[in-house]
Amino acid sequence: MKTMPKLIPKRVGGWPYPERPPEIRIKDFDPITLNYTPEQAIEEAKRCILCPLPACVKACPVKVDVPGMMRAVASGNFAEGAKVLRETNCLGGTTGSVCPQLGGLCEASCVLNKTGEPVAIGMIQKFLIYWEIQNNVKPERLNVKPTGHSIAIIGAGPAGLAAADLLLRYGHDVTIFEAMPEAGGTALYGIPSFHLDKRLIKHEVNYLKEMGVKIKTNTMVGRDLRIKDLFNMGFEAVLITTGPSEVIRLNVPGEDLKGVYSAYSFLIDINKALLENRSLSSLPYKLDGGRYIIVGGGDTAYDAAKMAIRLGASEVIIMYRRTEKEMPGYWLSREEVKKEGVKIMPLTVPIKFIGNENGWVKQAECIKMKLGEPDASGRPRPIPIPGSNFIVDVDVVLIAIGRRPNKYLAEVEGLKLNEHGGIAINPETYETSIPRVYAAGDVVTGETLVVKAMAEGRKAAQRIHEMLMGLTERVNLDKKYYDERYSVRFKTTSALSTSLQARESH
């Protein structure tokens, strides 16, 4: 009879991951989490019971072969572990850092949740990419015949990079056009180093370059080039993955006062300055401490709050119009901000900002809320409580209530938009209103998770590949990397188990 694997209930390094003490980490911009040592990675990988039908993979938008990765790491074969990870996830270290693994994705679905703590899949992913960096690992030459087809991708964020990776693996020539000085998109510029170590995303971008992806930075399509120019240059298809950059405003009196900023723009500018080793004093922000109010309950709000703490804020308050239970950001990130001294003020929203004689914000008039019936989002509708208004003194306000798709290119090129303000696409083919021009990721859907944008980029790339190769059968990537892969293994495992049981019975 088949021997059941030993269940090890506790994960290595403590729950949920090893981290630097709050009183130390708030003094710098280094990563909050500590990386596994090789010994820790092996020990943690051995906790995986190698499910024949792994729920963790089913929950992963890009369908990383987690059992295959864990099997390699448990044996100490880190090069093979990284190779397995890269099969469907070219940004494994990035997603290992920013994915809410315990928020409905891989780790939340791990069967060990029923008996203890789930396997630290994100920590293993990060370990593998750190291991590549430390050992100066270069990509193996792709054993694929060139197709002779070329594709232009607009936007070098996660969706564009993931699409380029898949297209390159099919043998196509891929060039990405990026408006910023470096590739990486929101992962590089929008997420602070304490959340995502920039060494990881930079290594992963360079790895793709060495594999053969061409990236032209400081090039804005729509301004420096037009889509027709790309076709004239010989590209046979264009994929738009320019993400969400239009910040949503509160639309309340006083929002245009000095000292009231978009949290996303705030993070972009500070991250860019840090990447370029420029002084933060050159930025047009008030960075001399004081009380910060962050409006919103998502990951951008949490990152902005942690950034404010590191910039010397005397007090940081996150205001959210619903309760903590409804806050859309990753709950572990919320716990991190609390450890760092940030206060959460739920069921509260500013309705007016008040300035001083010089036009700088000095107060916020707020109102308390109560929860009503669910709205279109399925969450309880926040309802203002009459007469609950109160005044809060404030020095800086950061608005973090979401971002809409980047409409710049759509407006320049005359592309049709969908009901969310994103680029309209054929949901089956990812093609836009212009033939052979495709779109995927947040520029279509609006702000979402990095790994979900990557999954959409890969699916669009698959459709482009099929179009260029004249293939009539459409491949479902979710089915290919889950249903087909594990159903075969499951049948083989089940057949072997049945055979062994029959042999032992005789």
Q: What is the pLDDT of residue 491?
A: 59
For the residues 16-21, what does the mean pLDDT come to? Answer: 97
- Domain annotation covers residue 506: no
- Domain annotation covers residue 205: yes
- The structure tokens listed for 225 are 């080039």
Q: What is the pLDDT of residues 87-96, one digit of tens each?
A: 999 999 999 9
Residues 180 and 160 in one domain: yes
Is residue 340 within 8 Å of 306, Cβ to Cβ?
A: yes
For the residues 13-32, what does the mean pLDDT come to? Answer: 97
Q: What is the pLDDT of residue 450?
A: 98
Q: What is the pLDDT of residue 497?
A: 47
Domain end marker among 370, 401, 432: 401
For the residues 223-250, what does the mean pLDDT come to? Answer: 96
What is the percent of the chain with per-residue pLDDT over 90, rounded to a whole number?
Answer: 91
The domain tally of the chain equals 3
- Domain annotation covers residue 388: yes
- Domain annotation covers residue 379: yes
Q: What is the pLDDT of residue 487?
A: 79
Residues 363 and 265 in one domain: yes
Residues 336 and 411 in one domain: no
What's the pTM value of the predicted model, to 2 decimals? Answer: 0.94
pLDDT of 461 above 70: yes
- Domain annotation covers residue 326: yes
For the residues 327-343, what does the mean pLDDT come to? Answer: 97
Domain end marker among 76, 103, 134: 134
pLDDT of 368 above 50: yes
Q: For all residues of the chain together, what is the average pLDDT?
A: 94
Residues 197 and 254 in one domain: no
Query: How many alpha carbons fall within 13 Å on the CB side of residue 193?
Result: 16
Residues 325 and 437 in one domain: no
- Domain annotation covers residue 415: yes
Q: Helix (H, G, I), strand (E, B), or coil: what is residue 286?
A: coil
DSSP, residue by residue, 13-42: TSSS--B--HHHHTTS-S-SBPPPPHHHHH
Residues 241 and 172 in one domain: yes
Domain end marker among 351, 372, 401: 401
For the residues 356-366, what does the mean pLDDT come to? Answer: 97
Q: What is the pLDDT of residue 488?
A: 65
Please report the sign of the dihedral spanned by the C-alpha atoms of residue 455, residue 122, residue 333, residue 323: positive
Residues 442 and 375 in one domain: no
Q: What is the pLDDT of residue 500?
A: 39
Q: Which residue has the tokens 């790339």?
A: 461
**Which parts of 264-421 are beta strand (E)?**
291-295, 315-319, 343-345, 348-355, 361-374, 380-384, 390-393, 396-399, 403-405
Q: What is the pLDDT of residue 384?
A: 97
Nearest to 266 by CA among 413, 318, 274, 210: 274
Q: What is the pLDDT of residue 344?
A: 98
For the residues 480-484, what does the mean pLDDT come to? Answer: 95
Q: To 10 degrees, the CA torsion angle through 330, 336, 339, 341? A: -80
Q: What is the pLDDT of residues 182-199, one digit of tens each?
A: 999 999 999 999 999 999
- Per the rule left: phi > 0, alpha: psi between -120 and 50, beta: everything else, 414 is left
For residue 372, give every residue at least 6 positions away whose Cβ sits within 8 Å of its Cβ, in sequence order, or none: 380, 381, 382, 383
Residues 380 and 466 in one domain: no
Q: What is the pLDDT of residue 506?
A: 45
What is the percent of the chain with per-residue pLDDT over 70, rounded to a whole number?
Answer: 95
Q: What is the pLDDT of residues 196-224, one digit of tens each?
A: 999 999 999 999 999 999 999 999 999 99
Residues 110 and 189 in one domain: no
For the residues 99-115, what does the mean pLDDT come to? Answer: 95
| Residue range of the domain that includes 54 | 22-134
CATH number at residue 100: 1.10.1060.10
CATH number at residue 287: 3.50.50.60
Nearest to 212 by CA among 117, 125, 310, 143: 143
Residues 303 and 360 in one domain: yes
Residues 335 and 256 in one domain: yes
Between 308 and 376, residue with greater pLDDT = 308
- Domain annotation covers residue 313: yes
For the residues 120-132, what does the mean pLDDT come to? Answer: 98
Distance in angstroms (rounded) separating the CA atoms of residues 441 and 422:
10
Q: What is the pLDDT of residue 6?
A: 78
- Domain annotation covers residue 285: yes
Residues 369 and 441 in one domain: no
Nearest to 80 by CA among 168, 22, 140: 140
Write a three-state SS string for 68-86. HHHHHHHCCCHHHHHHHHH
For the residues 413-423, what does the mean pLDDT come to? Answer: 96
Q: What is the pLDDT of residue 108?
A: 97
pLDDT of 4 above 90: no
